[in-house]
């Protein structure tokens, strides 16, 4: 123990002396700890349980909330009273529930309590807000909302609003327009939701101006009962048609596992795989930094050895660095992660309207992450510790290289491990259970890739040694850098391996996500270009439709607005005009139904993004223009007109069709001629509008005109793909630059005398910069080139099950990646060429060119 204490004292002194190196190591180890801890804290705080929601739903006094369904309807509800299933097969007409009847069943005091949505007129335009109809002054409603400013509504025509509406321009003492009539209501107070601080909500007295927006399921009450409502009481009230949220039942129920997404076993497996990869990457990144410390402390360690210190003592001193720096980094990262997570949650809850519960820190997960950080630091210090025990004290004290000459690198172990990893990845992708989820198959692929990563890491010293033999054929800056890297394989191989692992992961993510995106676009292409807005108003008269068009033109000045006819049945309800999409090369894939709008050459030009005279002439002659050959049966399309209520199709007819090119590669669908629809006996009317963009307040404005107006926006999946690839690239850049600069800093320290000699014999400062840039480019370039093939193979394996739980026949999994053009070539070029070039450029710009003369000891 005395040796351990001495080693820790030496490490503490060196940490304070070499503040820059110590900070670098702590950042590399502490940042992952901080990031993961922040995510855990953010997730735990935003996971609001039913118990934590009781105050916002029932307040501090009430025993239950009651919502009525039709009288006599038998319900089956969830334990929290959020939803219910009507067990009766035949629909029952809604009959009003007198408060006395509900009070007789509940046997308690009731006050009206309804929630819904309402259109509000804000300074920025119409928008949606939640509505709360409850007398918040009543003692029974205490705690449902917290008063921040002013007072609660006390008369019809008065409302209280949340801070989010105040941020939108609403002021206490002013007025706000509510409902489709824009009825003016006086704002008398500001209230706060206990678990949703960012919600836009308006509160008024029951029976006030918001009553038309109450819940469709019926009238609700807040109840105070003589005794808590048990499960038996809830079941009794369910048989009468009452939905019950009972405080006693919710408090007694254990916290439910909502289980969305992954199962517990899959989640634990992903966590284990992620832990292994994080520890490996962090150790590889911090390894060169510990090697820097070993180089700077070489004389101190040599003196310890000269005074009788054993190899175990030298290893202990370096491992103490890892224990001390890793422990401090883990502690700071944990504390910072908790603070960042809580701060991010408070900001997100207010600005993004997230759920917000009491501050919560999941200590088992957080302490596990801190332990991972400590293990990562110890693993990073392990190889430098072994090197410290092997160094020659005489050579070090004489001022020569501190790194002992190791044995020639042997590639066989790494090759064997890499081949086993390749086989495991291929087996996991090819033999995945058809009944398994895509997430479980991908988990198997990622877990199987770990031996491949370790195999490539084990190959790095051999690759560095092999490339060092080619140095004689390179220009002078590269020759000096590559030879120096070959002489110091330990720190070079660690940095190159870190770059390789980061590149491999980024390439695999890019290939896998891009191929998934390509499959999704092939199976479910959009009917309109990304970012298109559909405005439909079936059942409205000509006057209301004219107002809808005028409001859209007012709110979207300069937007391309194209009107189109809507197919209607005899009662004025919308009919969906659909065509079956037959999948190609997928024998078991389900048949997809695609909507085809009716229109003229204006709509066709809008969907194609240009004027196509041939397609326009075909449309004018009564032929459909389609953008996907899978929609055609020969030279025709078979159209079905469906009512929104389902059942049998209202009409089926066939239309001649021609194939054309859409305006966006991800786009499918087409255009039906309006004449063909009317020829099939279907009435049409201009009740649809297409726009090339949308505005936030448009939804509320349309609702203010008529509740029959509906809006649908086409998602821009290309932007989602770009954001995902950009995030993966940014993370790879951070990891690559961190590992590269750590290794380059050590190389410059080792080559300082050589660089000074180069300057002394007439070398220009530019030459010194080129040597440093070449060192950084060599580390980043070799790592990127090594990680590229591994990432491609893992990405292919990840893309194999992207069609879902059914498998595509033949080699269509690979066809999706290579034939459909889904490989993100620009992304891969940025990873393999751009990032190393950026590392070399930054290293060269930051290199020191000042000549420092030093006396050599011979």
Q: What is the pLDDT of residues 37-70, one digit of tens each?
A: 888 898 889 888 888 899 999 999 999 999 988 7
Residues 664 and 592 in one domain: yes
Give φ, ψ of 482 to 5 degrees.
-70, -40
Say whether both 236 and 269 belong to one domain. no
Three-class SS state of 133: strand
Q: How far apart are CA 351 and CA 748, in angstroms?
A: 47
Give the pLDDT mean for 259-268: 49
Task: Calculate the CA dihedral of residues 454, 457, 458, 463 and round it to 10 degrees.
Answer: 150
Q: Which two tokens stand for residue 242?
A: 């009452």
Instruction: Quick: pLDDT tens for 593-627.
Output: 778 889 899 999 998 888 999 999 999 999 999 98
Is residue 260 pLDDT above 80, yes or no?
A: no
Same structural domain for residues 278 and 367? Answer: yes
Residue 673 reports pLDDT greater than 70? yes
The pLDDT of residue 57? 93
- Alpha-carbon gap, residue 2 to 631, rounded angstroms: 80
Residue 727 lies in a domain: yes
Closest C-alpha among 682, 677, 672 to residue 631:
672
Is 84 a member of any domain? yes
What burial letters (b/e) apply to 279-303, b meaning 16+ CB within 10 Å? bbbbbbbbbbbbbbbbbbbbeebbe
Q: Are residues 623 and 734 in the same domain?
A: no
pLDDT for the residue 647 = 63
Asked whether residue 854 carries a pLDDT value surpassing 60, the answer given is no
Higher pLDDT, 2 or 173: 173
Locus of tokens 């002439």? 617
Residue-wise burial string across 194-203, b where 16 or more C-beta atoms lie within 10 A, e elsewhere: bbbbbbbbbb
Report, as an integer, the average pLDDT of 788-795: 89
Cα–Cα distance measured from residue 324 to residue 330, given in angstroms and rounded to the nearest whole number: 10
Using only the alpha carbons of the chain, give its radius of gyration: 34
496 lies in a domain? Answer: yes
Q: How confident is the model at residue 857 (pLDDT cuts 50, 70, 90)?
A: very low
Domain-located, residue 412: no
Tokens 């309207």 correspond to 353
Residues 215, 351, single domain; the answer is: no
Quick check: is 399 in a domain? yes
Q: Is 484 exposed, middle or buried (0-12, 13-18, 19+ CB in 10 A)?
A: buried
Give the whole-angstrom CA distance, residue 734 versus residue 724.
16
**CA–CA distances in Å: residue 846 to residues 749, 766, 782:** 14, 12, 21
With 80 as the cut, is the pLDDT of residue 165 above it? Answer: yes
Checking if the pLDDT of 257 tops 50, the result is: no
Domain boundary among 378, 405, 432: 405
Q: Is residue 424 part of a domain?
A: no
**Statement to judge: residues 536 and 685 lie in one domain:** yes
| Residue where a domain stops, chosen among 666, 689, 713 | 713
Does residue 563 sit in the same domain as residue 490?
Answer: no
Chain segment 542-587, per-residue pLDDT in tens:
899 998 999 888 888 888 899 989 988 888 888 888 888 766 555 4
Of 693, 713, 733, which residue is a domain's last? 713
Per-residue pLDDT tens over the stretch 195-253 = 999 999 999 998 776 654 444 334 789 999 999 999 999 999 998 889 999 999 999 87
Integer Cα distance of 48 and 540 in angstroms = 42
Over residues 476-482, the mean pLDDT reads 85
How many helical (H) and strand (E) elements, i.e. helices and strands, does the chain have? 27, 23
For range 440-453, the mean pLDDT: 80
Task: Say what the pLDDT of residue 711 is.
Answer: 86
Could you tell me if residue 413 is inside a domain? no
Give the pLDDT of residue 235: 92
Do 484 and 582 fall within a single domain? no
19/196 Cα distance (integer angstroms): 44
Query: Measured between alpha carbons, how far is 858 from 855 in angstroms, rounded to an integer?
Result: 10
Is residue 4 domain-shared with residue 70, that is, in the same domain?
A: no
Q: What is the DSSP letter of 258?
A: -
In a domain, 382, yes or no: yes
| Both structure tokens of 118 | 């309402």
Query: What is the tally of structural domains in the chain?
Result: 4
pLDDT of residue 806 exceeding 80, the answer is no
From residue 397, give the alpha-carbon distance in Å to each of 99, 253, 316, 406: 94, 71, 20, 19
DSSP-derived 3-state class of residue 470: coil
Q: What is the torsional sign of CA 479, 480, 482, 484?
A: positive
C-beta separation of 832 from 785 below 8 A: yes
If DSSP states are collapsed to H, E and C, what string results for 319-341?
A: HHHHHHHHHHHHHHHHHHHHHHH
Which is nearest to 205 in space by CA: 134, 140, 104?
A: 134
Domain containing residue 608 = 527-713
Q: Inform me whether the pLDDT recorded for 803 exceeds 50.
A: no
The verdict on 132 and 206 lying in the same domain is yes
* pLDDT exceeds 70 at position 784: yes
d(CA 359, CA 41): 8
Distance from C-alpha of 157 to C-alpha of 188, rounded to nearest angstrom: 10
Question: For residue 747, is pLDDT > 60?
Answer: yes
Rounded distance between C-alpha atoms, residue 780 and residue 744, angstroms = 10
Q: Tell me whether strands 710-713 and 146-150 are parallel, antiparallel or unpaired.
A: unpaired
| Distance in angstroms (rounded) separating the CA atoms of residues 676 and 667 | 23
Asked if residue 379 and residue 301 are part of one domain, the reply reads: yes
Pairing of strands 183-192, 158-161: parallel
Number of residues written out for the chain: 858
| Both tokens assigned to 786 | 């090594």
Does one domain contain both 521 and 535?
A: no
Task: Report the relative pairing of strands 64-68 and 220-224 from DSSP bridges.
Answer: antiparallel
Token couple for 148: 């921040």
């Amino acid at each position: 123990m005395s040796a351990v204490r001495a080693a820790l004292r030496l490490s503490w002194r060196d940490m304070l002396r070499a503040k820059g190196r110590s900070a670098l190591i702590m950042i590399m180890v502490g940042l992952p700890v901080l990031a993961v801890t922040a995510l855990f804290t953010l997730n735990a705080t935003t996971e609001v349980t039913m118990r934590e929601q009781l105050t916002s739903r029932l307040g501090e006094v009430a025993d239950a909330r009651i919502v009525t369904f039709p009288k006599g309807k038998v319900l089956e509800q969830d334990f929290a009273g959020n939803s219910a299933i009507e067990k009766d097969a035949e629909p029952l007409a809604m009959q009003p529930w007198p408060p006395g009847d509900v009070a007789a069943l509940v046997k308690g005091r009731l006050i009206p309590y309804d929630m819904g949505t309402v259109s509000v007129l804000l300074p920025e335009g119409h928008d949606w807000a939640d509505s709360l109809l409850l007398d918040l002054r009543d003692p029974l409603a205490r705690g449902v909302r917290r008063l921040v400013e002013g007072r609660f509504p006390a008369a019809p025509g008065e409302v209280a609003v949340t801070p989010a509406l105040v941020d939108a321009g609403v002021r206490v003492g002013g007025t706000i327009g509510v409902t489709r009539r824009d009825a003016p209501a006086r704002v008398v107070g500001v209230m706060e939701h206990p678990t949703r601080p960012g919600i836009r909500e308006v509160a008024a007295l029951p029976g006030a101006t918001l009553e038309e927006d109450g819940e469709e399921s019926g009238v609700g009450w807040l109840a105070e009962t003589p005794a808590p409502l048990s499960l038996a009481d809830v079941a009794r009230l369910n048989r009468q048609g009452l939905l019950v949220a009972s405080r006693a039942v919710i408090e007694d129920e254990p916290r439910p596992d909502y289980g969305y997404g992954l199962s517990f076993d899959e989640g634990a497996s992903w966590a284990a795989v992620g832990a292994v990869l994080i520890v490996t990457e962090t150790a590889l990144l911090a390894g060169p930094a510990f090697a820097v410390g070993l180089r700077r402390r070489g004389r101190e360690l040599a003196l310890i050895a000269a005074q009788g210190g054993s190899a175990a003592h030298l290893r202990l001193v370096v491992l103490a660095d890892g224990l001390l720096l890793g422990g401090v980094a883990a502690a700071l990262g944990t504390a910072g992660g908790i603070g960042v997570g809580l701060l991010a949650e408070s900001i997100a809850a207010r600005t993004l309207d997230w759920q917000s519960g009491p501050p919560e820190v999941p200590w088992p997960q957080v302490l596990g992450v801190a332990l991972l950080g400590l293990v990562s630091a110890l693993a990073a210090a392990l190889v430098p510790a072994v090197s410290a025990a092997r160094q020659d004290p005489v050579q070090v004290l004489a001022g020569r290289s501190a790194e002992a000459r190791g044995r020639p690198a042997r590639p066989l172990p790494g090759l064997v491990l890499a081949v086993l990893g390749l086989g495991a990845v291929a087996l996991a992708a090819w033999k995945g259970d058809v009944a398994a989820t895509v997430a479980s198959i991908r988990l198997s692929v990622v877990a199987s890739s770990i031996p491949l990563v370790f195999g490539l890491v084990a190959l790095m010293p051999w690759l560095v040694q092999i490339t060092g033999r080619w140095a004689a054929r390179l220009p002078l800056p590269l020759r000096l850098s590559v030879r120096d890297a070959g002489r110091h394989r330990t720190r070079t191989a660690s940095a190159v391996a870190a770059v390789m692992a980061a590149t491999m992961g980024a390439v695999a993510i890019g290939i896998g996500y891009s191929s998934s995106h390509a499959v999704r676009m092939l199976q479910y292409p959009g009917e309109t270009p990304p970012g298109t807005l559909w405005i439909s108003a079936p059942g409205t008269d000509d006057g209301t439709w004219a107002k809808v068009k005028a409001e859209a033109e007012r709110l979207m000045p300069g937007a391309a607005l194209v009107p189109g006819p809507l197919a209607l049945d005899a009662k004025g309800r919308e009919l969906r005009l659909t065509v079956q999409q037959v999948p190609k090369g997928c024998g078991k894939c389900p048949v997809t139904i695609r909507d085809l709008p009716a229109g003229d050459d204006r709509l066709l030009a809008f969907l194609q993004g240009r004027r196509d005279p041939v397609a326009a002439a075909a449309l004018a002659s009564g032929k459909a223009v389609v953008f996907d050959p899978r929609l055609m049966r020969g030279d025709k399309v078979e159209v079905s007109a469906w009512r929104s209520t389902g059942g049998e199709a209202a009409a089926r007819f066939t239309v001649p069709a021609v194939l054309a090119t859409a305006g966006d590669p991800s786009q499918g669908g087409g255009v039906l001629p309006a004449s063909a629809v009317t020829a099939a006996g279907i009435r049409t009317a201009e009740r649809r509008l297409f726009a090339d963009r949308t505005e936030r307040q448009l939804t509320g404005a349309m609702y203010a005109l008529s509740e029959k107006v509906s809006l649908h926006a086409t998602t821009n999946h290309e932007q989602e793909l770009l954001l995902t690839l950009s995030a993966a690239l940014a993370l790879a850049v951070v990891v690559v630059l961190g590992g590269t600069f750590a290794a380059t800093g050590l190389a410059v320290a080792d080559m300082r005398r050589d660089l000074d000699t180069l300057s002394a014999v007439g070398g220009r400062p530019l030459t010194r910069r080129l040597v440093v840039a070449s060192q950084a480019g060599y580390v980043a370039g070799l790592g990127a080139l090594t990680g590229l093939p591994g990432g491609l193979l893992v990405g292919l394996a990840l893309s194999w099950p992207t069609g879902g739980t059914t498998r595509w026949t033949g080699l269509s999994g690979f066809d999706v990646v290579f034939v459909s053009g889904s490989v993100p070539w620009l992304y891969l070029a940025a990873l393999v060429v751009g990032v190393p070039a950026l590392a070399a450029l930054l290293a060269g710009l930051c290199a020191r060119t000042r000549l420092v003369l030093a006396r050599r000891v011979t």
